[in-house]
């Protein structure tokens, strides 16, 4: 019985022209599909994280072991980075807004102080003699 490859899996194909695919219609190469979407790679990584043997998954999907290890390492780095992010802190946001406003008011005061020093607020005054 002949075999055909679809989605990286080997399954028996009917012989002859009885609805079977020809060799030119096979969807992947001997090493699996040419392009793996992020969703499909994530599914494979989840299988590995659940404990499926790396070599068995590699043989089943036709993907090299080193490539599966790279996918798993990238996924773990991404997960680690995502878990390091802090959740939004309402008090922190309020504090940042208050500090921004204090900075603006301080600048306004400094500008007004410089303006008062350079110009006389009441114009010229006469001396009383």
As a whole number of angstroms, the distance between CA 32 and CA 8 comes to 5
Domain boundaries, the chain: 1-33
As a whole number of angstroms, the distance between CA 72 and CA 42 comes to 9
Least Cα distance to 20 among 34, 2, 8, 42 occurs for 2
Contacts of 122 (CB under 8 A, 6+ apart): none
- Pull the structure tokens for residue 125: 């005054």
Q: What is the pLDDT along the chain (129 residues), one digit of tens a residue?
A: 444 445 544 444 444 333 443 333 334 455 555 688 999 999 999 999 999 999 999 999 999 999 999 999 999 999 988 888 777 777 888 999 999 999 999 999 999 998 888 876 666 666 665
């Amino acid at each position: 019985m002949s075999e055909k490859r679809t989605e990286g899996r080997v399954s028996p194909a009917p012989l002859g022209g009885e609805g079977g695919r020809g060799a030119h219609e096979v969807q992947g190469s001997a090493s699996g599909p040419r392009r793996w979407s992020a969703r499909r790679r994530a599914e494979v990584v989840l299988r590995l994280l659940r404990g499926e043997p790396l070599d068995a998954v590699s043989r089943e999907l036709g993907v090299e072991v080193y490539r599966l290890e790279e996918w798993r390492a990238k996924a773990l780095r991404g997960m680690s980075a995502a878990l390091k992010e802090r959740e939004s802190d309402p008090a922190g946001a309020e504090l940042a807004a208050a500090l921004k406003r204090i900075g603006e008011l301080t600048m306004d005061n400094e500008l007004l102080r410089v303006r008062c020093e350079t110009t006389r607020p009441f114009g010229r005054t006469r001396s009383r003699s």
